[in-house]
Amino acid sequence: MKIIVCGAGRVGWQIARQLAAEGNDVTLVDIDAEVIRRATDELDVRGVAGFASHPDVLDRAGAADCDLIIAVTPLDEVNMVVCEVAHAVFEVPRKIARLRSPAYLDALWSDLYRTDRLPIDVVISPEREVAQAAYERLIAPTAFATGSFLGGVAQLYGLVPEEGSAVIGTPLRQLSELFPQLRALVLAIERDGRLFATEPRDQVLAGDRVYVMVHAEDAPRTLELFGRALRHPGRVVLIGGGPVAIVLAQMLEGAKPPAKVTVIESHLARAEAAADALDGTLVLHGDGLRAELLAEAGIAHADAAVAMTGDDRVNILAAIRAKQLGANLSIPIINDAGLAPLMDAVPLDAWIDPRAVTVSTILRHIRRGRVRDVRLIGEGAAEVMEAQVLPRSGLAGRTMTSVGLPPGAMFGLVRRGDKILMPHPTLRLEPGDLVCILAVTSDMPEVERLLQVGIDYF
């Protein structure tokens, strides 16, 4: 596939790297010539320096015969114009734009994104996706990664097993024999910097980072085997009152049971906007690093604190301060991947990477076949996807063992109507089934081929 990525920021860089690693023909466009030079040195991509919305720049990038354009520059309006030019001048068949402003995302104006008006095929809203990721992390505070599939019935957790837990040193085949009623399976293990799909003979070792898919009803028991637990937060303090915080607070307000939420925002206008948007949330105006204000917000009795200002360093410091003052769980949002190595050295429970969340969302709309969801894991080393089995695809009518998944891939849970099925070699996949699949990056093209159908099907 020939793809143009406009914007070489954190998201654009990651999506270009991911797609190029899978063998796609990727061109990266950015106004900064030095960034483009570095990208062509470090990534297997072409680079074009210039304004992404200018027709001559898109022409040099190869828009005349590209299959997909992804606009993720910092400005919503530029991303919109990129899609308009790609459609009107170059007839690019598929266009994806990242839009951040709530004004562009309101359902009242969704009719704007039509081919005869503003031809954007997919609108990505990172704020909503990041808020959902934060919400999932609050519910599973001991997981370093989370994901929801099959309509919320299948949950993905990244877990480091507690020392002495039942899973350590036990072959996965034996775990299935010991707990036959448990609808859970270990999809992948990250060990010594390498992530691999599991086999029945594999064992979980102390210090492993383990990715487990489990039926939601069996999640508490499964996490217990790892020495971990689920917990619905009752009191949450959000440090930062921007769009992500507002969406997250609304989710927490609407939870059953609802959480008691307090938002701290240093900018008066944003604090007032948050207060107007939220019904049952207390909004405090002030510096979230101040111990006195955190005490007023009830941090000593908080089940969780999430630091989500626009500054990564402030988020880290605020999360540390909240943890010191008594928050049971403290999570910063960190955009700069260069700060990630620091997280192992600070006393925090987890962190959220908006870049990975946004890239996962974009990949969901790029994958061939009828892919419904995608989650990157292991810093992009692999992904877990949910896809529908289409008639005449490489999956339909075949048993799991005869499908011939590549060695770096494996099946997860399957949904057939209202039933959730555990994968096993003789399970025959039927058209309409929803199936979860893990695949390392190098094997993703082969998995996509299995999900596709011939053009005569359409």
Q: pLDDT value at position 1?
A: 87
> Which pTM does this prediction carry?
0.76
What is the CB neighbour count within 10 angstroms for residue 118? 18
Q: Are residues 285 and 393 in the same domain?
A: no
- Count structural domains, the chain: 3
The candidate with the shortest Cα–Cα distance to 146, out of 134, 131, 161, is: 134
Check pLDDT > 50 for residue 456.
no
Q: How far apart are CA 241 and CA 419, in angstroms?
A: 41
Check pLDDT > 50 for residue 457.
no
Complete DSSP assignment for 213-276: EEEGGGHHHHHHHTT------SEEEEE--SHHHHHHHHHHHTSSSPPEEEEEESSHHHHHHHHH
174 in a domain, yes or no?
Answer: no
Last residue of a domain, one of 329, 356, 383: 356
372 in a domain, yes or no?
Answer: yes
The candidate with the shortest Cα–Cα distance to 72, out of 88, 49, 91, 53, is: 53
Q: How confident is the model at residue 99 (pLDDT cuts 50, 70, 90)?
A: confident
Q: Are residues 246 and 268 in the same domain?
A: yes
Q: How far apart are CA 16 and CA 7, in angstroms?
A: 10
Q: List phi, psi (to 5°) of 28.
A: -110, 130
Instruction: Count the alpha carbons within 13 Å of 331 in the hemisphere toward its beta carbon.
Output: 30
Q: pLDDT value at position 178?
A: 85
Q: pLDDT value at position 356?
A: 82
The predicted model gives 35-40 an average pLDDT of 95
Q: Are residues 362 and 352 in the same domain?
A: no
The predicted model gives 101-119 an average pLDDT of 62
Check pLDDT > 80 for residue 348.
no
Q: Are residues 371 and 303 in the same domain?
A: no
Q: How far apart are CA 53 and CA 71, in angstroms?
A: 9
The predicted model gives 144-168 an average pLDDT of 91
Q: Which of 301-305, 308-312, 428-432 has the lowest mean pLDDT?
A: 308-312
Q: Which of 231-240, 255-264, 340-349, 407-416 has the lowest mean pLDDT?
A: 340-349
136 in a domain, yes or no?
Answer: no
Q: Are residues 271 and 382 in the same domain?
A: no
97 in a domain, yes or no?
Answer: yes
190 in a domain, yes or no?
Answer: no
Q: Are residues 443 and 349 in the same domain?
A: no
User: What digits encode the pLDDT tens for the residues 318-327?
Assistant: 999 999 999 9
The predicted model gives 124-152 an average pLDDT of 86
Average pLDDT, the chain: 89
Q: Are residues 247 and 302 in the same domain?
A: yes
| CATH code at position 420 | 3.30.70.1450
* Percent over 90 (pLDDT), the chain: 62
Q: How confident is the model at residue 117 (pLDDT cuts 50, 70, 90)?
A: low
The predicted model gives 2-31 an average pLDDT of 92
342 in a domain, yes or no?
Answer: yes
The candidate with the shortest Cα–Cα distance to 5, out of 42, 36, 41, is: 36
Are 237 and 309 spatial neighbours (Cβ–Cβ below 8 Å)?
no
Q: How far apart are CA 60 and CA 312, in angstroms?
A: 35
Q: Are residues 407 and 422 in the same domain?
A: yes
| CATH code at position 350 | 3.40.50.720
Q: How confident is the model at residue 116 (pLDDT cuts 50, 70, 90)?
A: low
* Domain extent for 246: 235-356
387, two tokens: 């896809």
155 in a domain, yes or no?
Answer: no
Which of helix, strand or coil describes residue 196?
strand
User: What digits encode the pLDDT tens for the residues 182-207?
Assistant: 999 999 999 998 999 999 999 999 99
Q: What b/e string do you get for 417-452 counting C-beta neighbours within 10 Å, with b at 16 or more?
A: eeebebbeeebebeeebbbbbbbbbebbebbbebbb
Last residue of a domain, one of 341, 356, 371: 356
Edge-first strand order for the sheet with 235-239 is: 282-285, 260-265, 235-239, 304-307, 330-332
Q: pLDDT value at position 108?
A: 44
The predicted model gives 334-363 an average pLDDT of 78
Q: pLDDT value at position 111?
A: 59
Q: List phi, psi (to 5°) of 444.
A: -65, -40
Q: Are residues 310 and 408 in the same domain?
A: no
Q: Are residues 342 and 255 in the same domain?
A: yes
Last residue of a domain, one of 124, 158, 193: 124
Give 352's DSSP letter.
B
159 in a domain, yes or no?
Answer: no
Q: Are residues 326 and 369 in the same domain?
A: no
User: What digits encode the pLDDT tens for the residues 363-372?
Assistant: 878 876 688 8
Q: Are residues 256 and 272 in the same domain?
A: yes
